[in-house]
Each structure stands twice: as C-alpha cells, then as structure tokens.
Amino acid sequence: MHIFDSVPAIRPLLSVYHPLPAFPYNSINAPVPPAPVRIEPSDGHRPSRSILVACITLIMAIWAVNYLTVKIALRSFAPLTLASFRVVAASAFMLAIYPIAARLRAFSADLKAHKQPRTLRDLFTFAYLGFFCIGLNQMCFTVGLRYTSVAHSSLILGMGPIWALILAVLFRLEKLTLGKALGMSVSFIGVAILASASGGVSRYSPTLTGDLITLCGSLAFAFYVVLGKRVAGQYDPLTMTTWNYLFGGLLILPIALNRAFALGPLASWQSIPWLAWACLAFSAIFSSTLAYLFYFWLLRYLEASQLSAFSYLLPVSATILGILFLNEHGSWSELFGGALALVGLSLTESARAS
C-alpha cells in the first residue's frame, strides 16, 4: 500500500491482531491495516448498505490503483528517490490533516479516552514502530516494485498475515493449530508454484530481486504487527498512526534530502513529467493517508471480518490493472500459484477466526 505503501497491501491484514490500530503498506500499500475495535455510532445513524459497499469498493480501488501509479512514477524517478519522497510527503500530509481528523466522530471519542502526556518510552515505541511500518515497509514496497511485477508484489504483500502468524507463534503470542498449519502450507505451495513459473529462485529470475525486496517489506510489516500488538491498547488509532508516520518520515528524511540534491538544478526537476508527479501525489495523499482514515470511518459500521472479504480482491484487481495498463504478462501456472496462495491465506484466517 505499502498497500499497503504495501497492499497490503494488501494487502489482507485486517484481522491480524485485533485491535492493533495502524497503517500499513499499502500499503503501497500496499497491505491492508490491522483492524481496531469496531466503534458504534453514537447518533444511531447508519449509512445504507449500498453506500457502505460503494465506500469499501472505493478504498480497495485506491489501493489497487496505487500499484499502477507507483509503477508509472518509477519510469521517471529513481526507485530510492520515489520511495523517500513518497514517505516524507505522506508523513507531512498526515501531520497536516491530523487536527481535522481528530475532530471527526470516528476518532474524537477514542482520542479523549487515551489522552495522556507522552513519555520518552512512548516516543521510543513510536520510533521503532515507525521504522518497521513506515520506513522499512513502504521503502521496500516502492523499491521492490521497480524490479518485479504488480502481480508478484500484490501477492507477496497480501501474504502478510502468514508472516505475522509465524512471528506470533515464535513470540508465543498465538498457538499454531492444525487449521492454521494447513492454511500456511497451502499458501507456501502456491508461492512455490508462482516462483517456479516465474523462473525459479535463481539469479537468472527476472523478478527475484524485486520479490526479495518486497518480501523484506512484508516481513517488516509483520514485525510491526507483532510488536505493535503489545502496546496497541495504550494508544488510540489516529494518534499511534500519526506518531508512526512522524518518526518514519524523520528517519527517511535524510535519504529524501540526499535524493533531492542528487536531482540537481531546477531544470532537472522540471524535466520530470507532470504525470509522474501526479502519481507520486496520489500515492502519498490518497493511498497512504486518506484511504486509511476512510477505512477507520467504515469500522464504525462494519465488522473487520466484513471488510476483510473485500481485501482478498486486492491482488486480483491490482494484477488485472497491471495487465491492462502496463502490458504485464503472466502464465497459467503463475495464475494458479497466486490463486492457491490466496486460498491458503483464506484458510489460515478462517482458522484464526474460529
């Protein structure tokens, strides 16, 4: 978005570690964020089903299009330049809209309930969470997408719940059941088929570099989910997300400044097509910030499980966009491997929910 920058992007991390309040890659990116507790509307008003479905569709469309816009922007920007500019821009925009978002009913009650002075311990927590979620995760999503396809990126980011579950078992935060093991096994078989159809895991594979970079981003977000679970109850979603973006942006700011100086004089900046700048703005503003705030608003009226059903469509829709607009090509083996991985992910999430 990730994303998710991610996916999360997205890629579907909706039900991993309820109630962790945060962003993802979308995500590019990419992946889809873990879901906070559902907030009941105090005024009793509930939008119609058609409006809610339209809103969910809009969010998923934004995250799917984000893969397309980042891929287009990478034609004019160096990967590290685009990645750092995107993170810093998203962080700045998040800080700018925080006062507005804090007044919205979707966030105001939770803000008051968790209002407290920030300690050095809190700031340290936000710093390392920002490093995993915003810095490493979103940087890897953007850079990785330069060297792999939209289909591979969206699927790898969508596998985030599997990595998070493995880490949770290792950290003894969750037990490994037969159903979870079965789901993970099916997913890994699907990924193996996908990798084999793409040239295998060798230095001659055309997407191996991008796949590994994207995997690092997906693993970073999985670490964020597991580490964030331990402190999620201490902060409200908006505050935690804003602080994470602040520290993530500060960590990436030196890289962004270096890349800005590397671009050289004003003429070099002006030579970048307006479409590339527009894609950068879309990714930073709509995908990385507004879509997530909209998502939290939807959680006032829908359960996380209802939203997660839509998130399984994200890799599929992103892949279709890549084929239609980027002339990406795939094989039936890749399609089968990707579908099998998503089936395994669905089985794993069903086992967790039960």
Closest CA to 38 of 15, 10, 4: 15
Radius of gyration over every alpha carbon of the chain, rounded to an integer in angstroms: 19
92-136: per-residue pLDDT in tens? Answer: 999 999 999 999 877 888 888 888 888 999 999 999 999 998 999
187 has a pLDDT exceeding 90: no
DSSP class per residue in 10-68? T---TTSSTT-----S--SS-SPPPPPPP---TT-----HHHHHHHHHHHHHHHHHHHH
Cα separation of 82 and 280, whole Å?
7
Give phi and psi for 7, each to the nearest 5.
145, -105
Q: Residue 287: pLDDT band by 50, 70, 90 thresholds?
A: very high
Which stretches of 131-177 are DSSP H helices? Answer: 137-146, 150-158, 160-170
86 has a pLDDT exceeding 90: yes
295-340: per-residue pLDDT in tens? Answer: 777 766 776 556 666 666 788 888 888 888 998 877 778 788 888 8
Cα separation of 217 and 212, whole Å?
9
273 has a pLDDT exceeding 90: yes
Cα separation of 196 and 98, whole Å?
45
DSSP class per residue in 289-321? IIHHHHHHHHTTTS-HHHHHHHHTTHHHHHHHH
6-49: per-residue pLDDT in tens? Answer: 333 333 333 333 334 333 334 434 434 444 444 444 444 677 87
> Mapped to the 3 state alphabet, what secondary structure does 271-286 carry?
CCCHHHHHHHHHHHHH
What is the pTM for the complete model shown? 0.80
Cα separation of 25 and 10, whole Å?
7
